[in-house]
C-alpha cells in the first residue's frame, strides 16, 4: 500500500470504531426510552454518563492523534448528546 492508502485505512478504521462505540450508547438510550413507561432503572443515568465520558475521551484522543477531523469527532459526540437530552427530558416529564 502507498502512504496515502495506509493513512486512509487507519482513518477509516478509527472512525468506524468510534461510530460502533457511539451506536452502543445509542442503543442504551433507545432501550431506556422504550422502558420509560414501564420501569426505571436508577443506575441507567450513571451508566450512560460513564459511557459518554469514555467515548468523548476516545474521540478526543483520535482527534489529537490526527486520526479523525475535529468536526467529525464533534459530530459523533453532539449527536449522542442531543439524544441524551431528549431522554432526560422525557424522564423528567415522567418524573
Sites of contact with a copy of itself (CB under 8 A): 1-3, 5-7, 10, 13-14, 17-18, 21, 50, 53-55, 57-58, 61-62, 64-67
- Shortest Å distance, C-beta 44 to a copy of itself: 18
Whichever of 5 and 34 has its CB closer to a copy of itself, that residue is 5
**44 and 32 Cβ atoms separated by less than 8 Å:** yes
**Residue placing its CB nearer to a copy of itself in the complex, 27 or 57:** 57
Judged by beta carbon, residue 36 or residue 45, the one nearer a copy of itself is 45
Contact 27, 85 (CB under 8 A): no
Instruction: Tally Cβ neighbours within 10 Å of residue 15.
Output: 17
Rounded-to-integer distance, Cα 20 and Cα 16, Å: 6
Whole-number minimum distance, CB 20 to a copy of itself, in Å? 9
For 69: left if phi > 0, alpha if psi spans -120 to 50, otherwise beta; the answer is beta
Q: How far is the CB of 53 from a copy of itself (least distance, A)?
A: 6
Measured from the CB atom, the residue of 17 and 91 that comes closer to a copy of itself is: 17
Angle, in degrees to the nearest 10, between helices 3-34 and 44-64: 170
Amino acid at each position: 500500500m502507498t502512504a496515502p492508502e495506509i493513512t486512509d485505512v487507519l482513518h477509516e478504521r478509527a472512525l468506524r470504531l468510534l461510530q460502533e462505540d457511539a451506536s452502543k450508547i445509542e442503543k442504551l438510550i433507545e432501550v431506556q426510552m422504550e422502558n420509560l413507561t414501564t420501569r426505571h432503572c436508577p443506575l441507567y443515568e450513571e451508566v450512560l454518563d460513564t459511557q459518554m465520558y469514555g467515548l468523548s475521551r476516545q474521540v478526543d484522543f483520535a482527534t489529537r492523534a490526527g486520526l479523525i477531523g475535529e468536526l467529525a469527532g464533534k459530530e459523533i459526540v453532539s449527536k449522542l448528546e442531543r439524544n441524551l437530552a431528549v431522554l432526560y427530558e422525557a424522564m423528567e416529564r415522567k418524573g
